[in-house]
């Protein structure tokens, strides 16, 4: 192998740039040329490739987002689009590809693998819902951003005797919400994996006030049936009976935009290096993740089309700690 490519796809995650840097520098150390592919699979189809050397990735480890960019690409979902992508790789003499991204991105990685191209995925998504890894690039930073928001809202809540609904990202996975609730000392948490009852939430908050708490925090996953907006509407409609309403803070994409913390920079560096090691060893069609404290590869056929389940013991812990 003499020349490889690297692209980032899907939602950006803090630490992606650290992974790009690791792929480039470890690839160069192996004697390879490394090309960065701009705008994900869209750029791959269009041949948007640039050579990346050691100095080209200097000063990016601390930056959020992805310097290579990411874009939606409906064409890549078609066989014709993927054939264009393979043709583009061949025309540029790319012999191996590293794809940094989450579930949707790794589905694309697997499709390329099925077509016979040497490809390796790197686990990167703030949702932490990928099978084949204990933790994904971006999770720790996103969690700390959510935690800072909770801490700040507690101050306001205590000052004004108010309750807050804080909605965090995660699509249909409640991991971020659950961890933020535990670390932030929230009164309760609402996640997609467990049916929620607004009346039960109201009773939990009333009980918190009866215990003398001067604020109330409910962390809500965006993918829950009762997300923050629906819960707020319910409490407003029944305010006379419940006795209070709740203010809403939706963190949204703020969680993705932070500079990566130390944990994400280190994780991304190790997974990026693991990706070039996998290519060198001829281990294609795998996801490079982090399992039991070590870099680990999992066949993509065991990853795609699945969602990692959360640990329900942690949900029970969150309920006990309210």
Take residue 287 and report the two structure tokens written for it: 């996801």
Q: Which residues are catalytic?
A: 127
pLDDT at 247: 87
The answer to whether residue 66 scores a pLDDT higher than 90 is: yes
Distance CA 322, CA 147 (A): 16
162 is in an annotated binding site: yes
Question: What is the per-residue pLDDT across 208-241, written as a single tens digit (0 to 9) for each?
Answer: 787 777 678 999 999 999 999 999 998 889 888 8
Distance CA 164, CA 217 (A): 5
Would you kindly state where each structural domain of the chain is located, as residue ranges?
3-138+260-302, 140-257
pLDDT at 257: 80
- Which CATH number describes the domain made up of 3-138+260-302? 3.40.50.450
123 is in an annotated binding site: no
DSSP string computed for 136-188: -BTHHHHHHHHHHHHHHHHHHHHHHT-EEEEEE--TT--HHHHHHHHHHT-SE
Q: What is the mean pLDDT of residues 90-119?
A: 97
The answer to whether residue 160 scores a pLDDT higher than 80 is: no
- Which CATH number describes the domain made up of 140-257? 3.40.50.460
Tokens 């294609």 locate to 284
Q: What is the mean pLDDT of residues 111-137?
A: 97
pLDDT at 207: 84
Q: What is the mean pLDDT of residues 126-155?
A: 94
Question: What is the per-residue pLDDT across 262-321, written as a single tens digit (0 to 9) for each?
Answer: 999 999 999 999 999 999 999 999 999 999 999 999 999 999 999 999 999 999 999 888
In the structure, what pLDDT confidence band is assigned to residue 322 with cuts at 50, 70 and 90? confident
125 is in an annotated binding site: yes
Tokens 């025309």 locate to 91
Domains 3-138+260-302 and 140-257 equal at CATH topology level: yes
Distance CA 166, CA 217 (A): 7
Decide: 245 and 239 in contact? Cβ < 8 Å: yes
Bridge partners of residue 249, in order along the sequence: 166
């Amino acid at each position: 192998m003499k020349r490889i490519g690297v692209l980032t796809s899907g939602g950006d995650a803090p630490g992606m740039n650290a992974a790009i840097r690791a792929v480039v520098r470890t690839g160069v150390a192996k004697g390879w040329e490394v090309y960065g592919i701009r705008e994900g699979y869209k750029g791959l189809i269009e041949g948007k490739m640039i050579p990346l050397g050691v100095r080209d990735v200097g000063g990016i480890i601390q930056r959020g987002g992805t310097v290579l960019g990411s874009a939606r690409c409906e064409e890549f979902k078609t066989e014709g689009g993927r054939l264009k992508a393979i043709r583009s790789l061949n025309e540029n003499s790319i012999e191996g590809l590293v794809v940094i991204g989450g579930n949707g991105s790794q589905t694309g990685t697997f499709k390329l693998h099925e077509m016979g191209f040497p490809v390796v995925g790197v686990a990167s998504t703030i949702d932490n819902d990928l099978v084949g890894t204990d933790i994904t690039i971006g999770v720790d930073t996103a969690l700390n951003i959510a935690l800072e928001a909770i801490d700040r809202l507690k101050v306001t809540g205590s000052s004004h005797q108010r309750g807050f609904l804080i909605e965090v990202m995660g699509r249909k996975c409640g991991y971020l919400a659950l961890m933020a609730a535990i670390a932030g000392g929230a009164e309760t948490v609402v996640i997609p994996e467990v049916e929620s009852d607004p009346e039960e939430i109201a009773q939990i908050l009333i009980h918190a006030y009866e215990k003398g708490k001067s604020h109330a925090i409910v962390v809500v996953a965006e993918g829950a049936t009762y997300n923050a907006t629906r819960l707020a509407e319910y409490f407003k409609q029944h305010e006379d009976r419940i006795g209070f309403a709740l203010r809403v803070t939706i963190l949204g994409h703020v969680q993705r935009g932070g500079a990566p913390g130390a944990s994400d920079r280190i994780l991304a560096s190790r997974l990026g290096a693991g990706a070039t090691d996998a290519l060198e060893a001829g281990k294609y069609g795998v996801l490079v993740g982090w399992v039991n404290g070590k870099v680990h590869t999992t066949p993509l056929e065991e990853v795609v089309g699945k969602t990692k389940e959360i640990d329900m013991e942690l949900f029970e812990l969150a309920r006990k700690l309210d």
